[in-house]
Amino acid sequence: MKQIFEALEKDARLTPEQISTMTGISVNEVKKAIKKAEQDRAILKYKAVVDWTKLGEEQVWALVEVKVVPQRGVGFDAIAERIYRFPQARSVYLASGTYDLAVLVAGKTMQEIAIFVSEKLAPLETVQGTVTHFILKKYKEDGEILEGGEGIKRLPVTP
């Protein structure tokens, strides 16, 4: 059954019939497995990876490291939930290292992200500090190469 989900993860547009052909699993079994995975929230969402810059839509992304004080009984879960409820927070991860949470943030401008961090994120009561890293260029996202897929072009070195 793992093959079904690997195929969907690579291309969410595949039909159960196509997956059946690819895997040798019957169409009914494929449909049943997908339906159960959706009900169990093993499949969370079907999505497209869009290179917005090619569509003329500029987006600014930042990775914000957040140092927090874990709360008794809930650890990092309560503060993570407060953060992931902000629409600017596209992904929130518990991480090892100097900072506790890694938050991927999106906005229209660098200033919009700076305002979010300084006025919404940093003032939360258990937040001890933040470090913001602006994403300058995306090369690969969700397994898809965004540009330069044909390899790095270098000039030949001549003596």
What residue numbers bound the domain in which 7 lies?
Answer: 2-39
Residue 150 belongs to some domain of the structure: no
Same-domain pairing of 68 and 133:
yes
Tell me: do 67 and 25 sit in the same domain.
Answer: no
| Backbone torsion region of residue 49, taken as left when φ is above 0, otherwise alpha when ψ lies between -120 and 50, otherwise beta | beta
Reply yes or no on whether the pLDDT at 153 is more than 70: no
Task: Say if pTM beats, i.e. exceeds, 0.85.
Answer: no
Q: Which residues, in sequence order, are bridge partners of residue 119?
A: none
One domain for residues 59 and 133: yes
Count of domains in the chain? 2
Q: Please indicate, yes or no, whether residues 107 and 78 belong to a single structural domain of this protein.
A: yes
| 67 touches 128 (CB < 8 A) | yes
pLDDT in tens, 22-81: 999 999 999 999 999 999 999 999 988 888 888 888 899 999 999 999 988 889 999 999
**What pLDDT, on the 0 to 100 scale, is given for residue 103?**
98
- Whether residue 93 lies inside any domain: the answer is yes
pLDDT digits 0-9 by tens, 104-149? 999 999 999 999 999 999 999 999 999 999 999 989 888 888 876 5
> Cα–Cα distance between 37 and 66 in angstroms, integer?
33
19 and 58 assigned to the same domain:
no
